[in-house]
A and B are shown apart, each in its own frame.
Chain A
């Protein structure tokens, strides 16, 4: 595995957190729910993006087993969202 991936992901999390927190702060202070929700969406997307980045890294280093594992995690997350979409609570 590429050693620099730690640093790359670290930067992604730091800047992602700054972006999401700023959006939520602006949304809360200005009572703009749409901006708040976009900040929340950034927070939800960040860890999923991390799985995608690692998936590409495993794929690039021809690590078949881990590529399958990462793909499975992404599929389960997608399935969870589909379940959320079709099984709306009352």
Chain B
């Protein structure tokens, strides 16, 4: 290891992914602000390293979810049409968006994530009007899984059109900011489609791999992925997510939730400050 920054990249991504893993989300939302504000990596490079780490975390946990048979393949594939289209649009536009606007947008997403973490999951409801139900039946989307305590749980899919729209934006945000877009996927899966939380987590984890691959593949071809930054970031993320998933079981989620809200708000304010500074200095 010639570059002393390698250890710093490893530590940042490990901590970010472990933090994310504790709450069952990807760590991109922490990795990008830390890389840009602590190490001084430029925004585009940080985003493109982070988007690879999003794929890595998705692949690392996919095996476990598949073993539990919680992943809804058909629904994932249909929603991926929307997320990859969003990613395609992101790839098209990211080159022409200056750093300072991406930082500002990132700050907004951090505020939104903090607000979402403060509210309890499943409180919102975007029920469908029943019109999309013929499509849900045609595509055979109603599913079931086996719960260890409750036995077989049958579930149906609610508002598919709204779910698709939210997923399109999740793909766009993922490509533009290098994050897993949990902030958009959670309302799509829980409030619009009304999936059970376990199926929702497994399926959205499955989908984000392909979504991020659509943008990361393009950035890879462009030569925009920096091996010296992305390498340690991906490595730290995979190890961190495995570590975080272990802690998930032993810590009380509600207590950590408050700490997370403050971390997210702190990063959001920092990024907003750095965006405003960027605007003033031109």
Q: State the A residues within 8 Å of B (CB).
A: 1, 5-7, 9-11, 13-14, 16-17, 20-21, 24-25, 27-29, 31, 33-34, 36-37, 39-41, 43-48, 50-51, 54, 65-66, 69-70, 72-73, 76-77, 79-81, 83-85, 87-90
Contacts and interface: CB of A to CB of B under 8 A. Distances in A.
Contacts of B80: 51, 73
B215 A31 contact: no
Chain A's interface: helix, strand, loop or mixed, by majority? helix
A33 B210 CA distance: 24
Between A17, A51, A69, A88, the greatest number of chain B beta carbons within 10 A of the residue's beta carbon is seen for: A17
26 contacts: A7-B67, A14-B63, A17-B59, A20-B56, A33-B228, A33-B231, A36-B231, A37-B227, A39-B234, A44-B213, A44-B220, A46-B209, A47-B55, A47-B213, A50-B210, A72-B81, A73-B80, A73-B81, A73-B84, A77-B84, A77-B210, A81-B218, A83-B92, A84-B217, A85-B218, A89-B94
A69 B138 CA distance: 13
A40 B225 contact: yes
Q: Rank and list the top 5 A-B pairs by shortest CB-CB distance, nearest first.
A: A84-B218, A47-B209, A89-B95, A10-B66, A36-B231
Interface residues of B, number: 58
- Per DSSP, are chain B's interface residues mostly helix, strand or loop, or mixed? helix
Nearest to B64: A10
